[in-house]
Each structure stands twice: as C-alpha cells, then as structure tokens.
Structure 1
Amino acid sequence: MYLSNEIEAERAAAWADIKESQRAGNVLTAKAIGIEYFELGELKQECLKLNYNGIYGYLPTSFIDTYEFRGIQNFVGKTFEFVVSYVSFDDQIFAANRILALEKSARRFWKNGKPGDIYPAFVRGVDRYHVYLLVSGVPTRMHRDEFSYVFSDDLREEIFIGETIDVKVLEINKPNPDLEIEGEEPSAEEKRAIEGNISVSKKALEIDPMSFINEYKEKSTYLGTITKIHVDHGIFISLEPRGITVRSGFPPGSNGARLQVGDEVNFKIQDINVKERRIKGLIITPNQNYKNKSNRSYQYGR
C-alpha cells in the first residue's frame, strides 16, 4: 500500500510538471524508451516514446531537431529535453517538442555562457573529420583535432549519434542579427555571424599524454599495446604507462598481417623530438623475437 501511494504521488507530481510545461514552456527531460507511431489529428509520424516519471509522452521526429537524421534508432535509451505541446488526460499521454526546448536553452547560453565553461554536448551527426554537436541548444561543429589527443582516422568509428560528451567552450561569437549583408542571400560565413557560433573541444578536458614525454628515454624499450592498424597510416601503439601514442609503418612485405589490435609489443625508442611531439623507434613482437633466430627487429619508424 505504501508503494502504491508513493507511485501515485510521483505520477501526480509528474502531471503537475507536464501541465506547467504546456502552460509556461518549462523545459523537462525524459528518457526515450522506444519508437512508436503517434496520431494527433492529421499528424501521424514516427516518434520517440518518452517516459517522464511514469507518464508516457511522444516526441515526433520532426520536433526532435532541425538537423536531418537518417533514423532515430540510436536515440532509444537517450535522454531528451522537451517542452510539452499537447496533453490528453483521457489517454494519459502528452506530446513533446524538443526544438522549442533547444531554442530556450540557446537563449540562456547566449546570455550566460562564457569561454572556459564545460557543457554536456549532444551528438547530432558524425562524419570522418567532424562531430556535429548541440551545446545547450547551440549547434557547433568540432574537428577531429579537438576530439582527442589520440589520432582518429574516422570519427564514425569513435562516436555515435545520440551520445553525450563533455566539452569545453573555447570561443563564443554571439548572434549579430543586425549585420548588414551584400546580396539577397547571406554567405555561409555571414550566416554564422548572424546566428552566432561557438568553438568547443573535448580534448581540452583531457590530460596530454605528451606532457609525460620526459619519463621516456632514447635507446630504451617500453611495453606498448597496438590500438589501431591502418593500411595507409600504419600501426598505432599506446606506450605504458602514460598512454603516449606512437605511429609506425609496417615491416617490409607483411602489411601488418602478423599484428592485431590489442597485441602487446616491445617498442624501442630511437629518437624523441619534444618540439614536434614525435617519437620514433623499433617495434618488436614476441612472435618475431621467437621466430627470428638473429633477434633482428623490424624497424617501423618512418
């Protein structure tokens, strides 16, 4: 009986929040628990089904974002902000609008945000070189150079639509709607100036492994783990204990056939260039040592 009363009180509080959101435009958040089709008058479209403290809501695809998505399967299990646009007490459901919530969040950001602030950023798109983010409702594009100190050839292998990552704001250029433009249509740069733009970095929140470069010595050997093998860029190795990434070529004629991601190798450092943030050396695998009676290592450093 106590549990039933507790649930009833939670639902009553949830309904109060939902009604207030519809009346005053308050922003709420809820987890997407599935995908269903929802009908409201002539509107029938695929929606994210939300669970707001026991009350079900529907977030239509067209009201998730102004960004065009190929699908919303990746959004299931993620949390979304929204403003309630419709309530049916008979059916005990509500309809949600995330675009309105993003607009309200963006207005707060332009008013209060400043460089150096840290925000959770929603991943709305990814290509090989960029992550397309929403930071408190403000859209931005982050290059892979700002994603991590660890090189990534293709960001689509590292991060996925619907994820949330923490980023640091590097620069803010507030909207300038009064900007005078030449011609009928603003250029891409003029549009960015009119709407405002920001730059952010995920890497800025990480510790630079190269700051520990003085812990490594030339002509010395260290344990490393292969993190990536790329046909064009070579073999990437994370050195113990600091995770400094070194890149090497393939041994002649092998194309890395004997090596796999996750293999531990011994890496002998030949040269450390602090200014260029580069380490060159020899990579020796246990199998190569065992099979090569002359104990001759392959040189991977380019």
Structure 2
Amino acid sequence: MSNDNVLQFAHPEGYTGIKKEFVHDPWQDLYAARQNRTILQGIPTQIEEHTLSENKILTVVIMMHGVKLLLPFSETCLKDTKLNENRNRLRKLIGRNIAYIVIGIDRESNLAIISRKAAKEKMAKTFWKNAKLNKIVPAVAQEVHFNNVLVDLGGVEVMIPAAEISHGWVHDARQIIKIGDAFDVKITYINKDKEDIQVSIKELLPSPYPDCLKRYNKGNEYLGTVSGIADFGIFINLEPGVDAIIPHLSKRKVKLGDNILIKIRDIKANEKKIYGTGIRVI
C-alpha cells in the first residue's frame, strides 16, 4: 500500500540504514535495566521529598530523558541520622556520578525507583572475586580530608592515609586530590574472609630512595622548602619525595613555602629519613 505522505528517494551516499534518533524513549531501557539488574550511572541534580508506599521520603533525583529516577535515602549507602543531617548528606551526592540499579517503575507517575546500595553490593561481589595482593585497581575519590582520602574501588570503600599518597611528606591531602579524581592504586593487604583491604598510591610511584642519598651528606648544608609543620618538628622538602625533619626554630616561626637552609646531622637509610638542623630562613 502506498503512502502519499512518504516520498520515495534513493538512499543517500554513505547511508547504512542506522539513523540517529533525536527523541529517545527511556522506558524500554528502564524495564530492561530492572529485569537484568544492570548497573547504570548518573548524576543527581535535585533533592525532593516524595510519598512512596504512603510514606514521605527524602530522595535525590537523577533525570533520564524526562523521567525522574528517585534514590531514597535508605538506598544511598549513607548513614541515617537526623532529618536535617540527612539532607546535608544527600547534598554531597549532587553533581557526582553515582552507580545505581533500577528496583521499581511507576510509569503512570513518570517515576522510577533506584538503589545505589544494590549497585555497590553487586559491584563489591565482583571486586572481592577478582581482587589479589599487589594487583593494580582503579579508584575514585569519594571524600578528601586533611590526613586521608576515602576511595571507592568498585563497590568497596577504603581509606588511604596521607602517608600512602606520596613518598614525601603530605601536609594536606586536599591539596593533592579532589573529590571525583580517578587514579590507580595498588593492593598492599587483603583479607577476603574479613573483607579487609589496604591500598596505596605511593607504591605505584618511583621512589627517590636509596638513590637520593647519594646527593646528601651528613654535615653539609642544603636549601629546602617548608612542606609541613607538626608538633614534633618541621618538614623540609629537598627534592620531590625527599623531606628532612628539623626541630622548630627557637627565634622564628615559619610557614609553608618558606625557604630554609638546613644542616644534615643524621641519615637513616633503612628508615628513609633525613634529620637536620635549621640554619636560617632565606
């Protein structure tokens, strides 16, 4: 049967039969994702209260081609506390790319219910199955604090202390890593039975030791930069990954970035530590 509204043309040059669609119906994808428990990813852009199963629930919302994907607080993997605190916790998810599984669909209301918790549990099973000591795995920073970084390894979260970020002194991890940063880490300890794991960034970086010790000698003086200030002393960076420790100066307070001439008084090669004395601030 002919259709007067459809004109017949020869196929354009390069035509493969695959056409770009400018309007996408998400429902087929959502039903398939729910049936197969497919792990999807999206970015929450809203915080809303919704009534689900006759209960008013705080949710974050991911938009998918006009459909609201609701992530209830109970499915976020966040610790449940007071309502106002929960809202603050949800704000940390806004703008971040998160994994989720579709667990419910309400097409009449143009809504779907999703679970980050279910996605992370599924990802964690795969991770523990494949994880091995000394294996290099991808990580994404979830939280960055002064002394440590919380990373996600694929459903498994682990804290990396500042000492495992660099061979040199790390004064503030927030100056090196930002939330959402992706990088490789090395598994340095694993106990699958207890689901306990430790990872390191430092182990993947070339160590300046012991080669750097050829460049420094006890009794000689060297110019360095203040890289950290602690109760027990001052860290002086001599080169990338190499910091000497000196006592606090008695007559002057120093700040990060100050240049100080120091005299090396001891080198402990086995401990990868250099001890010195401050001569003067340059």
Interval containing the TM-score (normalised by the shorter chain): 0.7 to 0.9
2:47 corresponds to: 35
Question: Where does 1:90-109 land on structure 2 (aligned, <5 Å)?
Answer: 90-109=108-127
Query: 1:213–1:274: 8 Å Cα contact kept in structure 2?
Result: no
1 CA distance for matches of 2:191 and 2:205? 24
1:86 matched to 2:98? The reply is: no
Aligned in 2, Cα 1:63/1:264: closer, same or farther, shift over 3 Å?
same
* Gap runs ≥5 in structure 1: 176-191, 287-302
Q: Higher helix share goes to which structure? A: 1
Q: Report the 3-state secondary structure (helix = DSSP H, G, I; strand = E; otherwise coil) of the residue aligned with 2:51.
A: strand
- Residue 30 of structure 1 aligns with an amino acid whose one-letter code is G
The residue number in structure 2 matching 1:236 is: 235
Q: Matches of 2:111 and 2:262 in 1, distance apart? A: 60
Q: Deviations over 1:142-184 (max 9, x none)?
A: 4554344344578688768776654222333334xxxxxxxxx
The answer to whether the 8 A contact 2:169-2:227 is kept is no
Deviation at 1:108? 1.3
| Aligned counterpart for 1:263 among listed residues 258, 261, 266 | 258
1:137 pairs with one of 133, 155, 164: 155
User: How far 1:26 moved relative to its partner?
Assistant: 0.5
Q: Equivalent residue for 1:200? A: 199
* 2:263 is equivalent to residue 251 of structure 1: no
Q: CA deviation at 1:96?
A: 1.4
Question: Per-residue CA shift, 1:244-283, capped at 9, x if unaligned?
Answer: 12222211143x2xx2212233444344331221212243
Aligned letter for 1:107? K
Cα 1:33–1:266 change in 2 (3 A) is: farther
State the shift of 1:52 in Å.
Answer: 4.7
1-structure distance, mates of 2:258, 2:37: 54
| 1:80 to 1:41, Cα distance in 2 relative to 1, 3 A | same
Report how far residue 91 of structure 1 moved.
Answer: 4.7
2:15 maps to which residue?
Answer: none
- 1:183 aligned partner: none
Contact 1:22 1:84 in 2 (8 A): yes
Q: Contact 1:87 / 1:95 at 8 angstroms: preserved in 2?
A: yes
Q: Which residue of 2 aligns with 1:274?
A: 269
Please report how far the alpha carbon of residue 27 of structure 1 lies from its aligned counterpart in structure 2 after TM superposition: 0.4
State the alpha-carbon separation in 2 of the partners of residues 114 and 235 from structure 1.
38
Q: What's the TM-score once normalised by structure 2's chain length?
A: 0.72
What's the counterpart of residue 73 of structure 2?
A: 61
- TM norm structure 1: 0.68
Q: Provide the C-alpha distance between the structure 2 equivalents of 1:44 and 1:6, rounded to a whole number of angstroms.
A: 41
Aligned to 1:291: none
Query: What letter corresponds to residue 251 of structure 1 in structure 2?
Result: L
Partner of 1:224: 224
CA pair 279-37 structure 1, distance change in 2 beyond 3 A: same
Q: Distance in 2 between matches of 1:38 and 1:208?
A: 53
State the AA in 1 paired with 2:257: G
How far 1:285 moved relative to its partner? 1.7
Corresponding pairs, count: 256
The AA in structure 1 aligned to 2:245 is R
Separation of aligned partners in 1, 2:20 and 2:233:
59
Cross-structure match for 2:3? none
Structure whose CA Rg is larger: 2
Q: State the distance in 2 between where 1:146 and 1:135 align.
A: 16
1:26-48, Cα deviation, whole Å (9 max, x unpaired): 10111233433333233433333
2:167 equivalent in structure 1: 149
From the superposition, tell whether residues 137 and 217 of structure 1 become closer, same or farther in structure 2 (CA, over 3 Å).
same
Q: Mind listing any 5+ residue stretches in structure 2 that lack a counterpart?
A: 1-18
Deviates more, 1:26-35 or 1:100-109: 26-35
1:8 to 22, 25, 34: 22
